[in-house]
Amino acid sequence: MNSTIREITHPLKGLHLKNGTYLSMESPLVMGIINITSDSFYDGGRYNTSQAAIERSEQLIAEGADIVDLGAASTRPGAEDIGSGEELKRILPVLDYLLKYHPHVPVSIDTYYSVVAKETIDRGASIVNDVSGGSMDKEMYKTVAALKVPYILMHMQGTPKTMQADPHYINVVEEVYEYFSERIPQLQVAGVEQIIIDPGFGFGKTVEHNYTLLRHLDRFKSLGLPIMAGLSRKSMINKVLKTKPENALTGTISLNTLALLQGANILRVHDVKEARQVIKLVEQYLPPKSIAR
């Protein structure tokens, strides 16, 4: 491990949220995805109105989502940046609804804008999920530190617009590991105390890169931080099985199972019910206390 990373003597086993609640990770968590967009790769356009997104959030919560992840800007390959103002315009009505009617369900905000992070966290959201790892807004680390909330640090090569143009690595596992080894101390120095890492499946990676990362996901456990796996209905499934995102549930279940066996602590998914079932079966299969440790 990079010697500049502060020693983590007590790895995170849960998240302390701003509303005073504690979200345990003794068992893996399920993060349900709500894309309030017109062009996300799987569900773009289905939930691009506040009412549709609210109805979807009710479904995810009923199915057992531990966290609801709100995103208003597509991060599919080639996606254009819509700007922080438009993000907030789309997110806030749905966030306000969740805070009013489901105040005990943590809301994660999927954004790379520090201004969006601040506005939504000040309003009552609980977690910042940044696909850029702070590279697209240099104020993000300082902002998250001041907000005192958990931060999801994801690896992405390039930007959503360019990331799939020509992904290249000499050793994808070690290069992603080194990325975390560099960024984690920066977050710690800034004052961010709760960090979750996400290797960024599909974000600047080929199919081969993705499966290599999945095969070696347990490599990142040595960093002493929770791992989130976002595999749901992605092209790494569809390119192998010759399916489309809408037909990729079986593939998603399969890869989520593998991620859990490799130590994933959070599954970020479109299909919450099925993810909960996967967790229950994997926990039944594994010896006690061996999952997500």
For position 118, which CATH number holds? 3.20.20.20
* CA-to-CA separations, 49 to 8, 36, 85, 112, in angstroms, rounded: 42, 7, 16, 21
Instruction: Tell me the DSSP string of the chain.
Output: --TTSPP-SS---EEE-TTS-EEE-SS-EEEEEEE-SS--TTTTTTT-SHHHHHHHHHHHHHTT-SEEEEE-S--STTPPP--HHHHHHHHHHHHHHHHHH-TTS-EEEE-S-HHHHHHHHHHT--EEEETTTTTT-TTHHHHHHHHT--EEEE--SS-TTTTTSS---SSHHHHHHHHHHHHHHHHHHHT---EEEE--TTSS--HHHHHHHHHTGGGGGGG-S-BEE--TT-HHHHHHHT--GGG-HHHHHHHHHHHHHTT-SEEEES-HHHHHHHHHHHHHHSPTT-TT-
> Which pLDDT score, from 0 to 100, does residue 5 have?
60
pLDDT tens profile 169-210: 999 999 999 999 999 999 999 999 999 999 999 999 999 999
Q: What is the pLDDT of residues 141-161, one digit of tens each?
A: 999 999 999 999 999 987 666
Does position 166 have pLDDT exceeding 80, yes or no? no
What does the pLDDT read at residue 45? 55
Provide the mean pLDDT of the chain: 90
190 located within any domain = yes
What confidence tens digit (pLDDT) does each residue in 61-97 have? 999 999 999 998 866 666 567 788 999 999 999 999 9
Is residue 240 a part of any domain in this protein? Answer: yes
pLDDT tens-place string over residues 96-115: 999 999 999 999 999 999 99
pTM: predicted TM-score of the whole model, two decimal places: 0.91
- Residue 98 has what pLDDT? 97
Query: Do 227 and 266 form a contact (C-beta atoms < 8 A)?
Result: yes
Question: Does 46 participate in catalysis according to the annotation?
Answer: no
2 lies in some domain: no
Confirm if 138 and 163 have CB atoms less than 8 A apart. Answer: no
Q: Is 9 part of any domain?
A: no
173 is a domain residue: yes
Asked whether residue 290 is assigned to any structural domain, the reply reads no
Q: What is the mean pLDDT of residues 266-285?
A: 97
36-to-19, 25, 89, 91 alpha-carbon distances in Å: 25, 27, 10, 7
Domain count, the chain: 1
Read off the pLDDT of residues 9-48 as tens digits, 9 standing for 90 and up: 445 789 999 888 999 999 999 999 999 976 554 454 566 6
Any domain includes 11: no
81 assigned to some structural domain: yes
Q: Is 234 a catalytic residue?
A: yes
Of 147, 260, 181, 162, nearest in space to 5 by CA: 181
The one catalytic residue among 56, 221, 268, 276: 268
Check 234, 276, 280, 293 and give the catalytic one: 234
Which residues pair with residue 35 across a beta bridge? 71
Domain with 281, as residue range(s), is: 27-285
pLDDT at 2: 47
Identify the pLDDT of residue 77: 64
